[in-house]
Structure 1
Amino acid sequence: MSQYSAAGVDIAAATRAKELMAAAVRSTHGPAVLAGMGAFGGCFDAALALAGIQAPVLVSSTDGVGTKTLVAAAVGRYDTVGQDLVHHAVNDILVQGARPLFFLDYIAVAKLDPVQVAAIVAGVAEGCRATGCALIGGETAEMPDVYAPGAFDLAGTIVGVVERSAMLPRTDIIAGDAIVALPSTGLHTNGYSLARRLVKHHFATEGYAARPAILGGQTIGEALLAVHRCYLSEVNALRAVVPVKALCHITGGGIYDNLPRVLPDGLGAEIVRGSWSIPPICQLLVELGRLDEQEAFHALNMGLGMLVIVPAESASQALATIPEARLVGRVATEPAVRLVDV
């Protein structure tokens, strides 16, 4: 054993991980990728990718999947968190009207398991292929004294582009505009510290293998690992038929922290209780934690994955375009987000 291996870093394992992930990474490459895996830096042909755009604006974002990684490690399933990472990132730049161009990931582990890392990267690659995004680089770091055994962290950076004239949010949002919701698949990538705490307290014996009746046969682990939904195709379909004024990705902070970020100063929103379905996993956590309404809608997305603001007269066309969408509220004159009854 080398001195480096004795210190906890296995170079051979890193090489094996790269070999296992190579095909998945390269499957995301198109003609715009000039240098990808194996290069010191990813190279992307901007002229090719931006052809036809008169005033291109690059939109970037960096994020992670939070402590959802601990659920994945506990369950021993690593094929979904990579998709979560990409979908979250795509949704974030989508809010400003951008389509994805390329992505870079970062994985940090206590001890490198090539099969585990390859499964994570395969998920990242799957998310990239599904959204037309090239995975052009990344980093896998083995840091035995930083992370606890079995733990890992996952983060990524996305770069996309939008025509300047098509950037969101628009400046013509007014009181009375309709708020349409695209449903979430569950917690997505926020609220997991709360979820893990409640599962540990109420299901100490079964843990993530427990099957509460409210989940309809799913285990808690399966419900918590549901892939963060990507809204790229739905938003593209909506923008083709209705004047979308703003989008809001409901992530950490829920509707209370996120919706004001896309509204003009002086305006707020009213969200109508009972106008959409709350996912069973969210209902379960609310019950287990005895969360009041304010905390529930602050910590969790509560089924509201992406909010779309359109003119009131366009709401019916938006609902017809995306049948699972729901009209959940309106832009209001009071500068706050409030839950209201019909």
Structure 2
Amino acid sequence: MSEISKSELYAQAGVDLEAGYESVKLIKSHVARTQIKGAIDSLGAFGGMFDVSALGLKEPVLVSGTDGVGTKLMLAFAMDKHDTIGIDAVAMCVNDVLVQGASPIFFLDYLAVGKNDPKRIEQIVKGVADGCVESQCALIGGETAEMPDMYDADHYDVAGFCVGAVDKAKLIDGSKVEVGDVLVGLASSGTHSNGFSLIRKILLKDAKLDLHAYVPELQKTLGEELLTPTKLYVKAMKHLFDQIDIHGASHITGGGFYENIPRMLKKGQGVTIDTTCYPHKPIFDYIQKIGHVSNKEMHNVFNMGIGFIIAIAKEDAQKAVDLLKEINEDAYIIGEVTDSGSVDLKW
């Protein structure tokens, strides 16, 4: 026993410390790309650090969000493609803090693996860093845990935690939402990171489709389409924050339109939305056709081509659409706030 080092014993238990050290070396350059004003170099420390005073906010309010990627990960395993799933982890968190009017300032990730593969971990963290760079927030820390027996050797889980900041006077809390406000919807990139248990059931389990097969309707393989990263709305929303009075906002995630839109409304308020006034992504028509899914069920699970919605005064609606077009963001006037107390969709 004395001739076997602790690291060798740990390796026999399934945890490779040396691979862990190699992973840290490989991800350092990706972490460095995300540094912004206020971020304090803390890679390797026990806690990530950020100097909030560097933001110059009068009354800073911190807004936090945490999320994972869900069973979309199973497609990454099947496709052996791991360089974009980290973008999903970032997007699911930063898009949530944007809803309150906060700009993301830092992010931490948690990666649990069955076996530490430094090259694969580098690809995952590269995606996280890509998402942070696009979101203009710093990756200030994270954790990688090798957990044999908990996960298969080729499997992992990834989750994230984001903090954003906003001046207290500029918080978006839904208190300004009024009947007659117009809804502006920002286009999604596709399925984002929601509804993949249903997607896998319909397309992979029941229809037994091949992820590597080219699908004419999608103009790419099924796997490429489904692994399209969740759209980040940071650039779009930061472009609007100081130019439009946003009364309410909603990130369309799991639960689709029916669950997420009411979260920005006052009691007794509802919305009407014309789903024919914006283009649907082909992937949703494909899922609906293959699975024989009703319109209501589709809108109760998926974003259907609209990943983020804002409620604003009627006179600001076209201005918001035009401002977003300036930065090549597709946006549409899709409906209005009512006193119905329900989400009413026209299709």
If the TM-score is normalised by the length of the shorter chain, which range does it land in? over 0.9
| TM-score between both structures, scaled by the size of structure 1 | 0.95
Match of 1:177 in 2: 181
Give the fraction of aligned pairs with identical amino acids, expressed as a percent: 39
Count of residue pairs the alignment pairs up: 337
Matching of residue 215 in structure 1 with residue 218 in structure 2: yes
Among candidates 325, 328, 331, match of residue 337 of structure 2: 331
Match of 1:148 in 2: 152
Match of 1:33 in 2: 39
Report the residue type matching 2:154 in the other structure: G
Counting only pairs closer than 5 Å after superposition, residues 116-135 of structure 1 correspond to structure 2 as: 116-135=120-139
- Flag the 1:31–1:259 CA change in 2: closer, same or farther, 3 A: closer
Counting only pairs closer than 5 Å after superposition, residues 87-102 of structure 1 correspond to structure 2 as: 87-102=91-106
Whether the 8 Å CA contact 1:13–1:112 is kept in 2: the answer is yes
- Flag the 1:114–1:155 CA change in 2: closer, same or farther, 3 A: same
Aligned-pair CA distance for 1:70? 1.0
Aligned-pair CA distance for 1:12? 0.9
Counting only pairs closer than 5 Å after superposition, residues 55-74 of structure 1 correspond to structure 2 as: 55-74=59-78
- SS in structure 2 of the partner of residue 128 of structure 1: helix
Aligned-pair CA distance for 1:3? 2.2
- SS in structure 2 of the partner of residue 207 of structure 1: coil
| Greater mean alpha carbon deviation, residues 124-133 or residues 253-262 | 124-133
Aligned-pair CA distance for 1:248? 0.6
Matching of residue 42 in structure 1 with residue 44 in structure 2: no
Gaps of 5+ in 1: none
- SS in structure 1 of the partner of residue 211 of structure 2: helix
- SS in structure 1 of the partner of residue 173 of structure 2: coil
Match of 2:236 in 1: 234
Match of 2:276 in 1: 274
State how far apart, in whole Å, the 1-side matches of 2:62 and 2:198 are: 35
| Greater mean alpha carbon deviation, residues 22-31 or residues 258-267 | 22-31
State how far apart, in whole Å, the 1-side matches of 2:33 and 2:275 are: 44
- Flag the 1:332–1:130 CA change in 2: closer, same or farther, 3 A: same
RMSD: 1.5
Whether the 8 Å CA contact 2:203–2:291 is kept in 1: the answer is no
Among candidates 221, 246, 249, match of residue 247 of structure 1: 249
Aligned-pair CA distance for 1:143? 0.8
Whether the 8 Å CA contact 1:188–1:228 is kept in 2: the answer is yes
Aligned-pair CA distance for 1:120? 0.5
Report the residue type matching 2:205 in the other structure: H
- SS in structure 1 of the partner of residue 165 of structure 2: strand
State how far apart, in whole Å, the 1-side matches of 2:182 and 2:52 are: 37
Whether the 8 Å CA contact 2:36–2:137 is kept in 1: the answer is no
Gaps of 5+ in 2: none
Match of 2:27 in 1: 21
